[in-house]
Amino acid sequence: METVLLLLLLLPLGGFVINALWGRFLPRRAVAGVACAAVLGALVCAATALILAADRAHDFTFFQWFGAGEFATAMNVHYDPLAAIMALMVTFVASIIHLYSAAFMRDDPDYVRFFCYLNLFVFAMLVITTADSLVFVYLGWEGVGFCSYALIGFWYQDEANANAGRKAFICTRVGDIAFGVALGLFFARFGNFSITYINSHAAGLSPTLATLLALLLLGAALGKSAQLPLTVWLPDAMAGPTPVSALIHAATMVTAGTYLLMRLFPLILLSPPAMLIIAGVGSITALYAAFAALAQWDIKKMLAYSTISQVGYMFLAVGAGDIVGGLFHLVSHAFFKSLLFLAAGIVIQALAEEHNIFRMGSLRRLLPGAYWLFLAGAISLSAFPMLGGFFSKDRILLATFIHPGGAYLIFWLLGLAAAFLTPLYTFRVFFVAFPERPDGRRAAEIHVTPRFMAWILWPLAVCALGDGLLNLPGGFGKDFLGYYLASVPGARPELGAAAATEWAMGLLSAATVLASMTLAYFLYRRRPAREPALTGFWGLLFSGFYLDRLYGRIFVQPYQTAARFLWRRIDDPYDRGLVRGARAIFRPYRAMAAFFWVKIDEVFLDDGVVWAAGGLETLSRRLGRWTSGRLSTYLKMLLLGLTILFGALALTWHLR
């Protein structure tokens, strides 16, 4: 069991090392082969570990990392059902994305670098998933942050992409500061970084400290998961290649924040105010992002905002005390969101990097594979009754509804509103981009994409549509996932709501979704598609309520102004003053020199200079002997050095 877990972590790392060192010398097939084999191997390990674990928790320490007195930690893992499900999901989605990328990036010159970073990312994510020591988690945390930066700015030759990468990194860094402070507090209070230790000893914490810690963890999660107020980096992160968006910004890195909260859930449970804030942030972000997604014309940006919105749901679940629901939605979302991204990737590549949905069309005829795949994903995302994300989203809304506290009713309403908007924006894009265009343009597509890219996605589609089966609220296989996770601290397999409430919730959700889809049909299918003007209400939505501009004004512009001020007013004048001062000093000297040259130099011209030159020549010749390159000289120098050493030692002996 321990070997399996060790392999789980080491295989992707090994893939990274091999490709980093020798990828340049291998043919492309081999590079992709190594990377995919590494991740598929990790998938096998994850599945094996899940079977072997038999829904108990396992703790292993791989080796002692560092220790300075009391401040010590090890690289250890805590493999419980929560980690098991997460690891399986991560490796499964990553495998499909690796295989897809082998085809997607086929024409890219930086093939090797891509797969290196992809493998490294999977390693770091698995570290976050399984680690027990919070410092080890932090290692993985930083690792995914770095890989995200490297992969977003993958085509860094274009400055916009590099900027997007930097923006992502800086925003998540703000969250990491909170994590760092939390680490310090954890050590101060518990003397230990182990998650298991903290969870089992959390009961003794004072409410204030628990709230503080929970809020710091929330701060860390906000950065990674792109929740308010740190959402601004995710839409820009779409500058990276589509498989990157699918892996990092749909399935894994953005869920790392939620996952951290779930791992330390017993701690968060102790603080009702923190849970309230978490739920609030989640629901507000969900609605905010849903609004923004409604106005996007770039297909990837719509999916990005949709991700922000759905991750908001996961935060809402944690805030409502239901980590089973949160994890369920996390897994569902991973399936359908990565499916959507990858299908969109096929479309984008086929149409020569066209992202604008208003310039697409007739894709049912031209790209049938992508059409049906995207439709499957869209249905899942919309939480169509009985399919895909319906059960997970329904469960989250139910948990929020039955949670005591008036604020939670408001959150439920926000979540419901977001649930209404989700099918609306999803099918807006679907109806604009995919069906036949009225003017019949796009008679022939520009590029042919490999068929492989489409049919590798079908397993993902099946999972996306059918994953409701994981945790049905009733009937056969009831709460399967919930009971699997029963041993995870803080998990509630069943919500314990009255049956009537459950049915009412379910029907309400179904009704909302169907109404929204009908509205989308009438708005976007029946009428011709036009790009909306980006003014007023639509402009507000498009720019995400001007959050980017706000940050620009608060943070970026003052910094730039200060830098410009320092440069213009201080640096430049200083340089100029220096030059003028130097010239002023030299003026009397030059006068003096002229005088001396006339009076004195001519007198001593003959004797002095010649004599000095001759003397210098002799001196340089004598000195030059030291660098003669002669062996005997060097040996004498050695002895001289030794003599000096001994002499110094003898003279200072009395000081010993």
Partner 1 sequence: MNLYAGTFYLLAAVTLGSTALAVTRRNLMHAIIYLVLSFFGTALLFFLLGAPFLAALEVIIYAGAIMVLFLFIVMMLEIRPAEQPWGAYLRQWLPAGVLGALSLAALVLIILAAGGDPSLPLAVASPREFGRFLFQKYWFAVEIVSFLLLVALVGALYLGRREE
Partner 2 sequence: MNSLVPYSHTLVLAGGLFFLGAACTAARRSLVMILIGVEVMLNAAGLALVAASLRWQQLDGQALVIFIMCVAAAEVAVGLALIVHCQRRTGSLDADRYRLLKD
Beta partners for residue 74, in sequence order: 64
Establish if 634 lies at the interface with partner 1 (CB under 8 A).
no
Binding-residue total with partner 2 (CB under 8 A): 12
Q: Two tokens at 200?
A: 């089992």
Question: With respect to partner 2, which residue has the nearer C-beta, 567 or 626?
Answer: 626
**Of 173-181, 196-204, 479-487, 640-648, which segment contacts partner 1 by CB under 8 A?**
640-648
Pick between residue 474 and residue 641 the one whose CB is nearest to partner 1: 641
Cβ nearer to partner 2, comparing 615 with 641: 641
Cβ–Cβ < 8 Å for 359, 118: no
Q: Does 157 bind partner 2 (CB under 8 A)?
A: no
Q: Which range touches partner 1 (CB under 8 A), out of 175-183, 309-317, 588-596, 642-650?
A: 642-650
Q: How far is CA 494 from CA 278, 401, 472, 478, in A?
A: 21, 14, 11, 9
Q: Write the single-letter amino acid at 70.
A: E
650 binds, among partner 2, partner 1, none (CB under 5 to 8 A by kind): partner 1
- CA–CA dist 232, 547 (Å, integer): 7
In whole angstroms, give the CA distance from residue 322 to residue 262: 9
Provide the Cα torsion 622, 624, 626, 629; round to 10°. -140
Tell me which residue has tokens 């049915």.
Answer: 503
Near partner 1 by CB under 8 A: residue from 208, 501, 518, 643: 643
628 sits near partner 2 (criterion: CB under 8 A): yes
Nearest CA-CA partner of 129 in 266, 263, 311: 263
**Nearer residue to partner 1 within complex by CB, 448 or 650:** 650
> If contact means CB under 5 to 8 A according to the sort of partner, which of partner 2, partner 1, none does residue 619 touch?
none
Q: How many CA atoms lie within 13 A of 297 on its CB side?
A: 13
| C-beta closer to partner 1: residue 462 or 642 | 642
* Residue 269 contacts residue 319 (beta carbons within 8 Å): no
- Is residue 653 a contact residue for partner 1 (CB under 8 A)? yes
| Pattern 633-652, partner 2, x by CB under 8 A | -xxx-xx--x----------
Question: Of the two residues 615 and 647, which places its CB atom closer to partner 1 in the complex?
Answer: 647
Chain-centre distance for alpha carbon 69: 33
Cβ pair 364, 371 in contact under 8 A = yes
Tracing tokens 């492309």 back to the chain, one arrives at 28
Q: Is 650 in the site for partner 1 (CB under 8 A)?
A: yes
Cα distance between residue 156 and residue 304, in whole Å: 20
Tell which one of 63, 627, 654, 655 touches partner 2 (CB under 8 A): 627
The answer to whether residue 626 forms part of the interface with partner 2 (CB under 8 A) is no
- To the nearest whole angstrom, how small is the minimum distance from the Cβ of residue 254 to partner 1? 56
Identify what 611 binds: partner 1, partner 2, none; CB under 5 to 8 Å per kind: none
Could you say whether residue 654 binds partner 1 (CB under 8 A)? yes
Q: Is 356 helix (H, G, I), strand (E, B) or coil?
A: strand
Shortest Cβ 646–partner 1 spacing (Å): 4
Region from 196-204, 234-242, 604-612, 645-653 binding partner 1, contact rule CB under 8 A: 645-653
Q: Is the dihedral of CA 489, 493, 495, 496 positive or negative?
A: negative
Q: Is there binding between residue 56 and partner 2 (CB under 8 A)?
A: no
Choose the one of partner 1, partner 2, none that binds residue 634, judging by a C-beta under 5 to 8 angstroms depending on kind: partner 2
Which CA distances in Å does 557 have to 231, 548, 549, 552? 19, 12, 10, 6
Tokens of 529: 């598609």
Terminal-to-terminal C-alpha distance of the chain: 60
Stretch that binds partner 2, among 73-81, 153-161, 189-197, 627-635 (CB under 8 A): 627-635
Does 604 engage in binding with partner 1 (CB under 8 A)?
A: no
Of 116, 186, 102, 206, the closest CA to residue 456 belongs to 102
In 3D space, the residue among 338, 295, 165 whose CA is nearest the CA of residue 237 turns out to be 165
Which of partner 1, partner 2, none has residue 21 at its interface (CB below 5 to 8 Å by kind)? none
Shortest Cβ distance from residue 615 to partner 2 (Å)?
A: 24
Q: At what angle do helices 207-225 and 253-263 cross, to 10 degrees?
A: 160
Contacting residue, 107, 632, 652, 655, with partner 2 by CB under 8 A: 632
Angle at 148 between CA 105 and CA 150, to 5 degrees: 65
The DSSP 8-state label assigned to residue 474 in this structure reads S
User: To which H or E segment does residue 60 belong?
Assistant: strand 58-68
User: Does 625 engage in binding with partner 1 (CB under 8 A)?
Assistant: no
CA distance 501 to 119: 45
Stretch that binds partner 1, among 26-34, 152-160, 517-525, 647-655 (CB under 8 A): 647-655
- Contact map string, positions 346 to 385, toward partner 2, x by CB under 8 A: ----------------------------------------
Give the residue with the Cβ less far from partner 2, 568 or 636.
Answer: 636
Angle at 333 between CA 328 and CA 336, to 5 degrees: 130
From the list partner 2, partner 1, none, pick the one residue 628 interacts with, judged by a Cβ distance below 5 to 8 Å according to partner type.
partner 2
Of these partners, partner 2, partner 1, none, which one is at the site of residue 649 (CB under 5 to 8 Å by kind)? partner 1
Counting contacts by CB under 8 A, is residue 636 touching partner 1?
yes
Please give the Cα distance from 635 to 630 (Å, whole number): 9
Cα separation, 304 vs 393, in Å, equals: 18
Please pick, from the candidates 204, 614, 615, 647, the single residue that binds partner 1 as defined by CB under 8 A: 647
Based on the shown chain and the rule CB under 8 A, indicate whether residue 630 belongs to the binding site for partner 2.
yes
CA angle 548, 554, 556 (to 5 degrees): 75
Interacting residue with partner 1 among 534, 554, 613, 642 (CB under 8 A): 642
Contacts of 196 (CB under 8 A, 6+ apart): 57, 59, 78, 132
Q: Which residues contact 577 (CB under 8 A, 6 or more apart)?
A: none
503 binds, among partner 1, partner 2, none (CB under 5 to 8 A by kind): none
- Cβ closest to partner 1, residue 444 vs residue 650: 650
Q: How far is the CB of 619 from partner 2 (least distance, A)?
A: 19
Q: Shortest Cβ distance from residue 249 to partner 2 (Å)?
A: 57
| Interacting residues toward partner 2 by CB under 8 A | 627-632, 634-636, 638-639, 642
* Binding region for partner 1 (CB under 8 A): 636, 639-640, 642-643, 646-647, 649-650, 653-654
